Chains A and B, each alone.
Chain A
Amino acid sequence: DVVMTQTPLSLSVTPGQPASISCKSSQSLFYSNGKTYLYWFLQKPGQPPQLLIYEVSNRVSGVPDRFSGSGSGTDFTLKISRVEAEDVGVYYCMQSTQLPRTFGQGTTVEIK
């Protein structure tokens, strides 16, 4: 199975400041069709996860442009350019290049 490792596991950020979460996979997520199936989700308390970024860097419609995804191969990053109060929650990376689909452990983001 592909192991997804997120760092840090928790983050305390001052509103208006940037934040960055790293996600490393144990194998390359590059697929033979040229795509890389790396996703970012945010889960707020009591809610299902919500998709933020798909295939490394594609922002879902309606997701603020302060969220961006980058990376390739085995190293990926989610950046929030200016954290807002509504961004609190647990962020997960997930790969679907190989079955079983696997998630990172989650990164809890809180506001200082």
Chain B
Amino acid sequence: EVQLVESGGGLVQAGGSLRLSCAASGFTFSNFWMSWVRQAPGKGLEWVANVNQDGTDKYYVDSVMGRFTIKRDNAKNSLYLEMNSLRAEDTAVYFCARDGVPLWLHWGQGTLVTVSS
């Protein structure tokens, strides 16, 4: 069974940093692109970033470019999102999701990041 479990969320002051993790199991992690998607409280969904199988190809939504870094460790079956210079508008539940065919069939339960101003 495919499982994705996020962790690392919490309360942080504006300008601070946080590192989110997503532990993957039940599939060959190194075979799949992976994504982060976020959802601000009471709002819609926003794709944040994705990374290819070996971590060499990464894409970001403009609003996080230069502040967030997506990484992966295939030896640990883990996906990460390093978030710096956090802003109030980054407050959201952050989900990791598995790319592939079909896209985003599998999601984690999410981890809440709250940025206080």
Contact = CB atoms under 8 A, between A and B. Distances in A.
Contacts of A43: 45
A102 B62 CA distance: 12
A92 B110 CA distance: 18
B110 A48 contact: yes
A99 B58 CA distance: 11
A107 B94 CA distance: 21
Interface residues of A, number: 24
Given A49-B107, A51-B105, A105 B61 contact: no
A39 B46 contact: no
Nearest to A43: B45
Chain A CB count within 10 A is highest, among B45, B101, B103, B104, for B45
B68 interface: no
A30 interface: no
Interface string A72-108: 0000000000000000000010101001111111100
Contacts of B105: 51, 60
Contact of B44 (A92, A96, A100, A101): A92
B47 interface: yes
Given A99-B59, A100-B62, A49 B45 contact: yes
Contacts of B62: 100
Nearest to A90: B44
B50 to A, nearest CB: 8
A47 B4 CA distance: 13
A26 interface: no
Given A48-B107, A51-B104, A103-B45, 12 more contacts: A37-B103, A48-B108, A49-B45, A49-B104, A54-B103, A92-B44, A92-B45, A100-B59, A100-B62, A101-B35, A101-B47, A103-B44
